[in-house]
Amino acid sequence: MTPNLKLSAALVAAALAAMGSSAALAQKAVTDQMIEADARTTGDVLSYGLGTQGQRYSPAKQINTGNVNRLVPMWSFSFGGEKQRGQQSQPLIHNGRMYVTASYSRIFALDVKTGAKLWKYEHRLPEGIMPCCDVINRGAAIYDNLVIFGTLDAQIVALNADTGEVVWKEKIDNYADGYSQTAAPLIANGLVLTGVSGGEFGVVGRVEARDAKTGRMVWMRPVVEGHMGKKFDKDGKESDNGVSGTPGKSWPGDLWKTGGAATWLGGTYNAKTGLAYFGTGNPAPWNSHLRKGDNLYSCSTVAIDVKTGQIVWHYQNTPNDGWDFDGVNEFVTYDEGGRILGGKADRNGFFYVNDAKTGQLVNAFPFVKKITWATGIDLKTGRPNYVPENRPGDPTGAADNKGKVVFSAPSFLGGKNQMPMAYSPDTKLFYVPSNEWGMEIWNEPITYKKGAAYLGAGFTIKTLNDGPIGALRAMDPKTGKIVWEVPNNAPLWGGVLTTAGNLVFWGTPEGFLQAADAKTGKVLWKFQTGSGVVAAPITWEQGGEQFVAVSSGWGGAVPLWGGDVAKKVAFLEQGGSVWVFKLMK
């Protein structure tokens, strides 16, 4: 071969190698199409909720009711150090790696075969952060070759998935004003959608959409009535995008300016409707007598067009909330008879079914056994049938500046709180981690001060009896009936996973990860992880095997705010680790 021919052959070989390398990189990068297919594929877990709809259902069925008793640990990884506290992260799986966040705004990349640490990013947190309910983080998002997560000082960080190096970082808001970020971001149409935490500090709840590759803001939508939305062009120039609602209509005076309604749990997205669904938190302050009216869009499900940032519809679960019932719980969409519906187990104790395109209320029923603030939900008007005497009293004019104390159930920690439920298209049941507890609550005078707690209420969490507090309940969204339940002594605070293997997985504060028959509720397997499970399990397949993983580490709102319940479970130990299981051969 002549030198020129040798050179040409070398160039061709180099070109082919480059093409192969590019193909490998392209194959590795996470695309919108991959995220849209996440719920139907088993080789990875690309989104919080095992799909943007949030069903937490996997079609994997190698592990099933017949063999789940052979599930054994493959490896465990410690998050390390003194930074234990609550571990609420749902891991993500892609390209042979697990990406899992941990308390104090940390994230790890691990080899899924061995548990070996590939890299760690530890966000430098300033003094004075003000997280409401522990120093937790619920997870990350993956897009292109980026891993994206939020931090306790209200920033969003995008890291190179291979190296952990920062690619872009943006400030969401000022942590000194009470803002923070704890939810897993949501990816929809190339945008990364985030909410805000901080409803107890009088922040203004909103949803922000950024270009996932660059962090550039595309639009911002407030979810407190009266605030102006914003949109941004490619050069970053800002313009108005319409006021949310009608200013002054459902808020008295200037209270809308510090109205709360934090979007602290993140959202879900349905590609068929083109809508992102965010739950909105409690209005601020808690003292409802100061803010007569419905206080839109607090305690609601808000459906937002991801292309425009406009609110398409809203449904308010607790108008003029006076109990801190919040409304932030996930809206899980599913198909039913050719119609797209969404289910939501609200903190106020009622389960709601809405049309996902229009917001029309289809059904509403209790999923806990004791509710004192309302007798039910009027299916025609969509409004609660309040029990007026069970609203905390107005402190105005009271000799001790304290309104009438009432006993309310559920407590403000909710019939269900942050722990995500699951939906199975096989059984057509929702699996809801629920709790039975109450509270004494009263109102107090309050004025707003930036960066200070803005409650105007006092409370004590109470047990209802000496029996179990928690219960995993299989709920039929058509009939509103509890099909089966598995009680638990401590309150449930971790999420749920269901699979085509006819299984439901969930964890307990006592430290167990367990699995039950999805049709009957019979517990078939359990494993002690060494600390309380307050996170959601996942499953995936790799190399012909199916795996299950969960984060373990007791913490969150219960030990901080739980009153008598916190005393009851004070024996529980903190921790910080992630466990991976597979079938014993």
Contact (CB, 8 A) for 278 and 256: no
Backbone angles phi, psi at 23, to 5 degrees: -60, -40
CA–CA separation, 528 and 43 (whole Å): 26
Check 324, 326, 346, 426 and give the catalytic one. 324
206: left (phi over 0), alpha (psi -120 to 50) or beta: beta
What's the residue count for the chain?
Answer: 585
Q: Hunting for tokens 């909330």 — which residue is that? A: 321
Task: Write down all domains in the chain, each with its CATH number in brackets.
Answer: 50-583 (2.140.10.10)
Catalytic residue list contains 324? yes
- CA–CA distance, 72 with 513 (Å, rounded to integer): 11
Cβ proximity of 289 and 394 under 8 Å? yes
What are the backbone angles phi and psi of residue 561, rounded to the nearest 5°?
Answer: -120, 0
Residue 585: what pLDDT? 85
In tens digits, the chain (585 residues) has pLDDT values of 444 434 344 443 444 344 333 333 335 899 999 999 999 999 999 999 999 999 999 999 999 999 999 999 999 999 987 667 899 999 999 999 999 999 999 999 999 999 999 999 999 999 989 888 889 999 999 999 999 999 999 999 999 999 999 999 999 999 999 999 999 999 999 999 999 999 899 999 999 999 999 999 999 999 999 999 999 999 989 999 999 999 989 999 999 999 999 999 999 999 999 999 999 999 999 999 999 999 999 999 999 999 999 999 999 999 999 999 999 999 999 999 999 999 999 999 999 999 999 999 999 999 999 999 999 999 999 999 999 999 999 999 888 889 999 999 999 999 999 999 999 999 999 999 999 999 999 999 999 999 899 999 999 999 999 999 999 999 999 999 999 999 999 999 999 999 999 999 999 999 999 999 999 999 999 999 999 999 999 999 999 999 999 999 999 889 888 888 888 888 888 899 999 999 998
Q: Is the peptide bond before 297 cis (omega within 30 degrees of 0)?
A: yes
Cα–Cα distances in angstroms (integers) from residue 504 to residues 422, 431, 432, 473, 501, in the given order: 9, 8, 11, 11, 9
Q: Which amino acid is at 502?
A: N
The SS3 of residue 145 is coil
pLDDT of residue 82: 65
Closest to 94 (Cα-Cα) out of 55, 58, 49, 146: 146
Residues whose CB is less than 8 angstroms from the CB of residue 329 and which lie 6 or more positions away in sequence, other chains included: 265, 279, 344, 345, 346, 347, 414, 416, 417
Q: Which pLDDT score, from 0 to 100, does residue 400 have?
A: 87
Instruction: Quote the CA–CA distance of 24 and 204 in Å, as a whole number.
Output: 44
pLDDT at 11: 40
Q: Which residue has the tokens 């749990």?
A: 265
The pTM of this model reads: 0.94
Phi and psi at residue 158, to the nearest 5°: -115, 125
What is the distance between the alpha carbons of residues 146 and 46, in angstroms, rounded to a whole number?
12
Find how far residue 340's CA is from the centre of its chain. 21
Residues 165, 355: Cα–Cα separation, whole Å: 42
Task: Round the CA-based radius of gyration of the chain to a whole number and report it.
Answer: 24
Predicted pLDDT of residue 23: 37
What local confidence, expressed as pLDDT, does residue 28 receive?
84
